[in-house]
Structures are given as C-alpha cells and as structure tokens.
Amino acid sequence: MKQFALLFMSACAVLATAQTKPSPARMRIIEEAAYNRLTDQNDAWFHDGDYPRLVENLRYMNLIWPHDYETATNLGWMLGNIEHYDEELAVYKTYGRNNRQDPDCDLPEANLYSRNHQWAKIPAVLERDIPRRPHPNAYRILAHAYEHLNRLADASRIWKKYITDYPGDSAAVANLARVTRKLKANQVTTKG
C-alpha cells in the first residue's frame, strides 16, 4: 500500500507539470478514487487485525491529505489503540495547529483529554473554538470540564452559549439547570 500511495503522489506531480493539464474535476475524481481505495484497504487491514500496516497507511494518507479530519482522527485513534499515546496526542495537536480554518480542529485533542479525565487541559484547547460555533461535543466537553474544575460560572456560560447556538437540546438545558443549582448553593454557602 505504501507503493500505491507513493505512486499516487508521483502521478499527481506528473499530471500537475504536464503540458496538457487535466481539468480540476478530473484531478478530483482521481484523488477521490485513490482516497477510497486506501480507505477500503484500511478497513480490510482493520478487520484482519493487521494494525501495523493500517497505521503505516494512515500515516501516508495523513501526509497526502493533512486537512482530512477523518484520516487524522482515525490515525490518532489507531495509535491510541496500539498504546502509542504520545504519538496519538501529537497527531491531534498537529491537526489542530495546521487546520485552524476548521472549527472542530481542536476537538480530537480535547476529546482525548476528556477520556483521560485531564480536565484542566481542556479549557485552553477549546475556549478559542467556541466563537466559531464548533460541533456540539466541543461545548459539552468544555462545559463538563469547567464543572469538574468547579468553575461553575464558566460552565454556565458555555451551556448558555451552546443552547443559543444549538437550541432544542434538552440534555443541555438539564445540565445548565444543574450547574445553576450548584452556583446558587455555592452563593448561599459563601454568604452563610
């Protein structure tokens, strides 16, 4: 599969420098076919349990398509699956740093911290994304992190912003109500 990826990159370079350049639509078709072929191979290796080959292929795909969220998160997840935790985190950080235009660019890193109960690391990662209206999970992870850190006013602020940006989530309304009760209880305790 490594050879396929290298062949694909070489073919794209040749086509890009050719006298008669293929149309952008044709290049997209070629690229999509290559991506789909590599993804199908990844599925086969995953089901066969051939994780080293799968990880190697995902690394090449991540080099070819560094802005592809699915490839980056699949690579990170597989690295965590084979207990290469530092590399998993590095993949997520690199994706976040290189894809600032994606409002969800920091979600994989924050999700990893959430799974590991590293609540204090989450606000610095996600707070900058909230104004860009990221995926609802970004709001949830950040609000829960603030609650675990006993930063209830911040948790309330994030739940309110989430409900404004994504109305109709009854669980979010319930979470905001719980945080509001805790805030009121803290105010009574500090006054008394």
Quick one: pLDDT band at residue 53, thresholds 50, 70, 90? very high
pTM: 0.83
Q: Which sign, positive or negative, has the C-alpha torsion 113, 117, 123, 128?
A: positive
Other residues' Cβ atoms within 10 Å of the Cβ of residue 11: 12
**Could you tell me if 89 and 109 lie in one domain?**
no
* Count of domains forming the chain: 2
pLDDT, mean of residues 87-103: 97
Are 1 and 84 contained in the same domain? yes
pLDDT the model gives residue 11: 61
Same domain, 152 and 88: no
End-to-end CA distance of the chain: 68
One domain for residues 113 and 172: yes
Q: 134 is written with which tokens?
A: 């990221």
pLDDT greater at residue 116 or residue 21: 116
Q: Each residue of 115-153: pLDDT tens digit?
A: 999 999 999 999 999 999 999 999 999 999 999 999 999
Using CA atoms, how far apart are residues 153 and 166, in angstroms rounded to an integer? 20
Q: Are 84 and 114 within one domain?
A: no
CATH code at position 176 = 1.25.40.10
Residue 91 and residue 137 share a domain:
no
Same domain, 75 and 150: no
**Co-location of 94 and 109 in the same domain:** no
Query: pLDDT at position 12, please?
Result: 63
DSSP states along 62-126: HHH-TT-HHHHHHHHHHHHHTT-HHHHHHHHHHHHHH-TTSTTTTHHHHHHHHHTT-GGGHHHHH
Give the Cβ contact number of residue 133 at 10 Å. Answer: 16
Average pLDDT over residues 9-16: 61
Least confident of 15-24, 58-67, 78-87: 15-24
Dist. CA 119–CA 145, nearest whole Å: 5
CA distance 176 to 95: 31
| pLDDT score for 99 | 97
Question: What pLDDT was estimated at residue 97?
Answer: 97
Provide the domain limits for residue 115: 104-192
How distant, in Å, are the alpha carbons of 97, 143, 163, 185 from that of 169?
Answer: 30, 14, 7, 25
Mean pLDDT across the chain, nearest whole number? Answer: 91
Q: What is the pLDDT of residue 27?
A: 84
Same domain, 32 and 66: yes
Among 39, 69, 99, which residue terminates a domain?
A: 99
